[in-house]
Amino acid sequence: DVKVTQSSRYLVKRTGEKVFLECVQDMDHENMFWYRQDPGLGLRLIYFSYDVKMKEKGDIPEGYSVSREKKERFSLILESASTNQTSMYLCASMTGTHSNQPQHFGDGTRLSIL
Amino acid sequence: RKEVEQDPGPFNVPEGATVAFNCTYSNSASQSFFWYRQDCRKEPKLLMSVYSSGNEDGRFTAQLNRASQYISLLIRDSKLSDSATYLCAVNRGSSASKIIFGSGTRLSIRP
């Protein structure tokens, strides 16, 4: 079974803090993704990575950056957290280069910015 | 118009009923389609992929209608444990990145 592990289930941070969300997958997947999920808006792609040190912007990259130094780990960074970044953050991984493979999600991190 | 649209529901049906819901997509070049299930405050989990010819997995049947650009999910003999939000996911092309998720349809099965 694919295992995608996110470092925290719940996180509370203050406005202006630098926040790191970590994600690790154990299936040697090439592709990894960061989404946020908000009521009524569904899942929105922030960034994704198709290989080590490779990244591409998703639909809502503003205010975020990512790091992929090792194949199994994909980090999401909020450079200076703001209250509108309070959300559920979901990491996913996927094998291969073709989209006919499904994505596998981590448990999610519920982030609150005060 | 959203790229992928779902009726948010909630669909409230009695146990044992058959329920179906659709997901429309706007990009006619879409090639891959999926249904995910998401329980409250949990992550989405793949329910089934949707193939061109339609496919069935136990009580669940998925269909693709390319002409009208929608996919459907049918649940027969619904169980209390089927209560969840069902997300559709549609890809726009061959790139792994271009997968768009719907906002989900909430299903509630009552005893």
| Per-residue pLDDT tens over the stretch A54-70 | 999 998 999 999 999 99
**Residue A98 clears pLDDT 70, i.e. is over it:** no
pLDDT at A47: 95
How far is A103 from chain B, CA to nearest CA, in Å? 8
A-chain CB neighbours of B49 within 8 Å are 100, 102
Q: CB of A58 within 8 Å of any CB in chain B?
A: yes
Which of A50, A97, A102 has its CB closest to that of B46?
A102
How far is A31 from chain B, CA to nearest CA, in Å? 8
pLDDT digits (tens, 9 = 90+) for A87-96: 999 999 998 7
pLDDT digits (tens, 9 = 90+) for B3-26: 899 999 999 999 999 999 999 999
pLDDT digits (tens, 9 = 90+) for A13-28: 999 999 999 999 999 9
Where are the extended beta strands (E) located within chain B? Answer: 4-6, 11-14, 19-25, 33-38, 44-50, 55-57, 60-65, 70-75, 84-91, 99-101, 105-110
8 A C-beta contact, residue A5 and residue A93: no
Which of A94, A100, A108 has its CB closest to that of B43?
A108
